[in-house]
Copies of this chain bind each other. A is one copy, B any other.
């Protein structure tokens, strides 16, 4: 079955959540949003390109920081309303310079930061 990005289910803003997972380690790095056009750009270029909700613009991850995500594999879920991207991550994925955005653990009713910036 040919894949058509416009066949997915987007929300009222035309967006779909995209989970980025480190292809080598399985670590979940971040979650951001795509629209059909940014998904098509990702497929065409092999560089993961989100849609920035704050800037209302394409967000080619790492374009300014160099922390590029190369797409290894794209999966869609059963409801066609979420994407899973296996990526090769250059440097940190998080804007705080941590490898993953999910560096805050909740345990025993408290928050604890579990990783430091890579710098």
Contact = CB atoms under 8 A, between A and B. Distances in A.
Interface of A: 1-3, 17, 19, 21, 25-28, 30-31, 43, 73-79, 82, 84, 94-96, 98, 101-107, 109-111
Question: A43, A82, A103, A107 — which one has the most chain B CB atoms within 10 A of its CB?
Answer: A82
Contact of A77 (B3, B73, B74, B101): B101
A98 to B, nearest CB: 8
A10 to B, nearest CB: 14
A2 B101 contact: no
Given A3-B110, A73-B107, A74-B107, 10 more contacts: A2-B111, A3-B106, A19-B28, A21-B28, A26-B27, A28-B28, A75-B105, A77-B102, A82-B102, A84-B102
A26 B22 CA distance: 10
A98 B78 CA distance: 10
B96 A78 contact: yes
Contact of A101 (B1, B79, B101, B110): B79
Contacts of A19: 19, 28, 31
7 contacts: A1-B111, A3-B111, A25-B26, A30-B77, A74-B105, A75-B106, A76-B104
